[in-house]
Structure 1
Amino acid sequence: MGVVVFLFVIAAAFLAVALVGPYRLYWRARPHAARQPSDGALAFGRVAAFGVAGVFVFGGCSVQAGIDRGTWSASEVREAAEDAAGSMAADTQIRRDPTQGYTSLIEADVLRAGEDQGPSYRISVERAGSGHDYEVSGGGADTTVCMHVTEEESAEGGVFVPGADGSGSSIAEYDLTATVDDGAC
């Protein structure tokens, strides 16, 4: 953040030079016998100062955009979690690992939903307790959202798994619904 402020201060200094024109004031205080730059040269100096100020403003904005891409904001985390909750409800799921629950599914959906919002490597989904509550947080965001997942056995049945002896079994599928609340679970 300090770099951004520094770039904007430098831009402000060049903007002041362009607007006030200290070169013109300096040359007017000197005796007329002294060699003075032409009005064209002074105008070119002002235009150059405006250009340099613009370059520093562009640099400051670019650095700030890079900082914003490297962190998640609180609203981006919440929006990505809500989008992930909606996508989880779209398809039936097979029950996941009992120790991790739906952590990997939620993390993948949040990353997909927040593709252009923050860095994918800075998202964290952790199971809270033994139920289906998950804390979702993004790197740089000072907030955590709680996603509560409820599962209901699907009316479509399940996935048929054939056995070696010709028999088979069925693995149940679940319809998931999720809600997102602010704060930790």
Structure 2
Amino acid sequence: MAVVVLLFLIAAAFLAVALIGPYRLYWRARPRAGRPSEAALAVGRVAAFGAAGAFVFAGCSAQEAADLGAWTASEVRKASEDAAESMASDPQIRRDPAEGYTSLIEAAVREAGEGQGPSYHVSVERAGAGHSYAISADGSEVCMHVTEVRSAQGGILVPEAGGGSGSIATYDLTATVEDGAC
């Protein structure tokens, strides 16, 4: 962040030089002999504007790079809400009891938050024995509460070794997202 501020301060200095033109004041106080022409002073002013623009561009680019390198609290919440909506769209198979839906939620948050921050900063941990999950990234944390209801569609048919078929139950998931820790 200090680099961004420094770049904008340098840009402001060049802008001041371009607008005020202290070199003009200096040369007006000097004798006529050896003074640069008005065209040369104009070129210097244009160069100062160009340098100010270059430093503003560099500052904006550095700020954008810093923003892409970290998650904000609103980005974590938005990605979690989008993940909750995507999980509700399809019935799910019940997950490992110890892990719950941790891997499903983590994958959904990473997909929903693509382009908002580095996906490797996202962490999803189960909070307690129920279906509450702490989702955190770069110091921002939200809590997702997942409710599962056996799907009305029945389940997934799978062939059995004896020639028949069985089914694996599927569940419809609904999730709510709250700010803060679980």
**TM range, normalised to the smaller chain?**
over 0.9
After TM superposition, give the deviation of residue 129 of structure 1 in Å: 0.9
Paired residue secondary structure (1:125): strand
In structure 2, the residue matched to 1:173 is 170
Deviation by residue 1:47-70 (Cα, 9 ceiling, x = unmatched): 100000000010000000000011
After TM superposition, give the deviation of residue 73 of structure 1 in Å: 0.7
* Residue-pair matches, total: 182
Distance 1:134 1:178 in 2: 10
After TM superposition, give the deviation of residue 143 of structure 1 in Å: 2.5
In structure 1, the residue matched to 2:80 is 81
* RMSD, aligned α-carbons: 1.0
The amino acid across from 1:128 in the alignment is: A
Q: What TM-score results when the alignment is normalised by the length of structure 1?
A: 0.95
Q: What TM-score results when the alignment is normalised by the length of structure 2?
A: 0.96
Identify unmatched segments of 5+ residues in structure 1. Answer: none
After TM superposition, give the deviation of residue 3 of structure 1 in Å: 0.6
Distance 1:31 1:168 in 2: 103
In structure 1, the residue matched to 2:150 is 153
Q: How does 1:131-146 map to 2 (within 5 A)?
A: 131-139=130-138, 142-146=139-143
The amino acid across from 1:49 in the alignment is: A
The amino acid across from 1:169 in the alignment is: G
Identify unmatched segments of 5+ residues in structure 2. Answer: none
Paired residue secondary structure (1:100): coil
Percent identity for Structure 1 against Structure 2: 70
Q: How does 1:1-185 map to 2 (within 5 A)?
A: 1-32=1-32, 34-139=33-138, 142-185=139-182
Distance 1:118 1:70 in 2: 6
Paired residue secondary structure (1:89): helix
Distance 2:66 2:12 in 1: 21
